[in-house]
Amino acid sequence: MTSFANNAAATSARANWRRAIEDLWDGSAHWWVWTAMAWQDIVQRYRGSVLGPFWLTISTGFMCLSVGLLYSKVLNQSIASYLPFLCLGMALWGFISTVANEGCVCFLSAEPIIRQIRMPFTTHVNRTVLRNLIVLAHNAVVYVVIAVYFQIPLHPRSLLVLPGLALLTVNGAWMCLLLGMICARFRDFAPIVGTLLQIAFLLTPILWTPAAFAGWNRRWIIDLNPLYALIEIVRGPLLGDPVASLHWAVALATTAAGWSLTLWFFARYRARIPYWL
Amino acid sequence: MASITLDNVSIHFPLFHTGGRSLRKTLLSVTTKKNFASDRHGLYVRALDGVSLQVDHGDRVGIVGRNGAGKTTLLRVIAGIYEPVAGRVAVDGAVNALLDVNLGLSLDATGYENIILRGLYLGMHPSEIRALAPGIAAFSELGEFLHFPARTYSTGMFLRLAFSIVTATKPELLLMDEWLMAGDAHFLAKAAERIDGFIGQSKILVLASHSLEIIRKWCNRVIWLEAGRIVMAGEPSAVLDRYSQAT
């Protein structure tokens, strides 16, 4: 039988860093643990339901269609360009906001397991991120239907969606880990995250297109939004738009900054997580 | 070779969600226990305070003490759940622990799914735990119930499932909390047989219990905890006699 080793001591910062890195490594190396957990979450959520997770597809489809038909008039855009833009934006925003919101409880909700069995903390993070990737995949079906209907052509540069998705996922992971730790310690933090996300939703080009702000001299307010960059590196390639290198730069900078902060936090407070639950 | 080494281990639980200073004063003045303390970070409980322990292969250690003495915390430290705020812990060998009756398992998942999940939680590969699953299912005697969600189980059934899973994974160190004694007589006899087999293989058993009879039967060493400190450790007869007199 294998089990995760227990050699703990109240020691140096260096040892804390080593254990944090080991946790990340062990958590990811035992991928079958969190893939099974994430799958179990999905199965459980829709147990007894006829359509199962495809309810997500249907509700996303109706949402995009109804909002798309109305807002394309409000924003004076052709439905053929607005609907695919909206659909991708909503699906990707759904991923980011749910990872952040569920990230807040990724350790709190795993309390019975954490207080029972030693396992890498990143297992719970990976489980949360993967669960939401599965949800995203169900929502992506709506986009496929729309793309076929409007005959959106595939460019060679559409392949950039793959690194885009990878970068988005990696960013989802640090958000989940960082928020999970902070919310385990400070129980008031989760509602704050929820509120900030609602504001961010309206400030990020999801319902509206940034083209409307073309001549604005404070356009950087929109362009430097990390959430915009993370959405655009996936949405842009699929829509066949060339993604500005600025978006890639902002996305990469967000990844570096986010993971640096999270790793520092994790190295320092990893061992405290069970005490906070 | 399995072993457990605890060197001057202390575990302090911070009390974050207990409100303002008035409660702190109340706790400090009212409590008769000596394990509340405070420092610049606030109030905390000294769940374990400078505990040193050496357990070698073949040892069956019983932990006795009143409620709140630190028995479960000590098991959790050995299981690697709490890393100490002071001191050092080194545990050699695969650990499996029965600490809570719910075992950290999912109430919505079926018994069979829970067998698989628990194996995965321990870091086993799906193929390993799937190979063990039929044996676990048979030992638990849950039959058709293994296809029902765990929330339909009685405490006794949950216990049978939990015990079957934990002991079937062949741990080198088995940690058990006292609730084990909640099973019916038939299952307890089976459990005792399995534990005897386990002991026969010179593995380490650490058992926290209020039942001195069980401790006497299974353990060759006893630790008496009081307010997070070891009051006495040694031969079962000597420690248990003193413990019975004191309580």
Q: Test A117 with B122 for CB contact under 8 angstroms.
A: yes
Q: What is the DSSP letter of A11?
A: -
Q: Which pLDDT band holds residue A13 (cuts at 50, 70, 90)?
A: confident
Q: Test B89 with A117 for CB contact under 8 angstroms.
A: no
Q: What is the mean pLDDT of residues A179-202?
A: 93
Nearest CA in chain B to A46: B108
- What residues in A contact B125, CB-CB < 8 Å? 32
* Residue to substitute from A130, A185, A275, interface B, most B β-carbons within 10 A: A275
| DSSP element (H, E) containing B43 | strand B42-56
* Residue B167 in contact with partner chain A when CB distance is under 8 A: no
Question: What residues 200-259 of chain A have any CB closer than 8 A to a CB of chain B?
Answer: none
Q: How far is B50 from chain A (nearest CA, A)?
A: 13
Lowest mean pLDDT among A48-62, A95-109, A157-171, A261-275: A48-62
pLDDT at A2: 47
pLDDT at A98: 95
- What residues in A contact B174, CB-CB < 8 Å? none
C-beta separation of B147 from B112 below 8 A: yes
Rounded to whole angstroms, the maximal C-alpha distance in chain B is 56
- Please give the Cα distance from A268 to A247 (Å, whole number): 31
Nearest CA in chain B to A187: B17
- What residues in A contact B109, CB-CB < 8 Å? 40, 44
Question: What residues 15-34 of chain A have any CB closer than 8 A to a CB of chain B?
Answer: 30, 32-33
Model pTM score: 0.88
* Residue to substitute from A22, A25, A116, interface B, most B β-carbons within 10 A: A116
Q: How far is B29 from chain A (nearest CA, A)?
A: 24
pLDDT digits (tens, 9 = 90+) for A91-149: 999 999 999 999 999 999 998 889 888 899 999 999 999 999 999 999 999 999 999 99
Q: Test A2 with B94 for CB contact under 8 angstroms.
A: yes
Lowest mean pLDDT among A68-72, A204-208, B178-182: B178-182
Nearest CA in chain A to B128: A1
SS3 B176: strand
HSE, CB side, 13 Å, CA atoms: give it for residue A50. Answer: 1
- Please give the Cα distance from B80 to A187 (Å, whole number): 25
Q: What is the mean pLDDT of residues A249-254?
A: 96
Task: Assess whether pLDDT exceeds 70 at residue A29.
Answer: yes
- What residues in B contact A6, CB-CB < 8 Å? 78-80, 89-91, 95
pLDDT at B36: 66
pLDDT at A7: 65
Nearest CA in chain B to A36: B117
Closest among A87, A131, A83, A86 to A105, alpha carbons compared: A131
Question: Which of A2, A30, A274 lies nearest to residue B81, judging by beta carbons?
Answer: A274
pLDDT at A157: 84
- If you average pLDDT over every residue of chain A, what do you get? 90
* Residue A187 in contact with partner chain B when CB distance is under 8 A: yes
Q: How far is B184 from chain A (nearest CA, A)?
A: 24
Q: What is the mean pLDDT of residues A255-261?
A: 97
Q: Test A3 with B123 for CB contact under 8 angstroms.
A: yes
Task: Assess whether pLDDT exceeds 50 at residue A242.
Answer: yes
State the alpha helices, DSSP H only, in A150-206: 161-185, 189-203
pLDDT at A75: 87
Question: Tokens standing for A93?
Answer: 């925003």
pLDDT at B20: 47
C-beta separation of A7 from B89 below 8 A: yes
Question: Which of B14, B94, B120 lies nearest to residue A33, judging by beta carbons?
Answer: B120
Q: What are the beta bridge partners of residue B91?
A: A6, B4
- Please give the Cα distance from A64 to B85 (Å, whole number): 52
Taking one residue from A and the other from B, the number of pairs with CB-CB distance under 8 angstroms is 110
* Residue B102 in contact with partner chain A when CB distance is under 8 A: yes
Q: What is the DSSP letter of B73?
A: H
- What residues in A contact B14, CB-CB < 8 Å? 275
pLDDT in tens, chain B (247 residues): 788 989 888 888 887 765 544 455 555 544 445 566 666 666 778 888 889 999 988 889 999 988 888 888 999 999 989 988 888 899 888 888 888 766 667 788 888 888 998 888 887 888 989 999 998 988 888 888 889 988 888 888 888 888 888 888 778 888 888 766 666 778 888 888 888 887 777 688 898 988 888 888 888 899 999 888 898 888 888 888 888 888 7
State the alpha helices, DSSP H only, in chain B: 21-30, 71-78, 111-121, 126-140, 155-168, 185-200, 212-218, 236-246
pLDDT digits (tens, 9 = 90+) for A211-231: 877 778 888 888 899 999 999
* Residue to substitute from B102, B103, B121, interface A, most A β-carbons within 10 A: B121
- Please give the Cα distance from B164 to B183 (Å, whole number): 12
pLDDT at B103: 64
Task: Assess whether pLDDT exceeds 50 at residue A247.
Answer: yes
* Residue A12 in contact with partner chain B when CB distance is under 8 A: no
Task: Assess whether pLDDT exceeds 60 at residue A1.
Answer: no
Instruction: Count CB-CB contacts under 10 A for residue B205.
Output: 21
* Residue to substitute from B15, B52, B83, interface A, most A β-carbons within 10 A: B83
Closest among B65, B84, B58 to B2, alpha carbons compared: B58
* Residue B117 in contact with partner chain A when CB distance is under 8 A: yes
* Residue B90 in contact with partner chain A when CB distance is under 8 A: yes
- What residues in B contact A114, CB-CB < 8 Å? 81, 104
Task: Assess whether pLDDT exceeds 50 at residue A240.
Answer: yes
- What residues in B contact A3, CB-CB < 8 Å? 94-96, 122-123, 171
Q: What is the ipTM of this complex?
A: 0.84
pLDDT at A171: 97
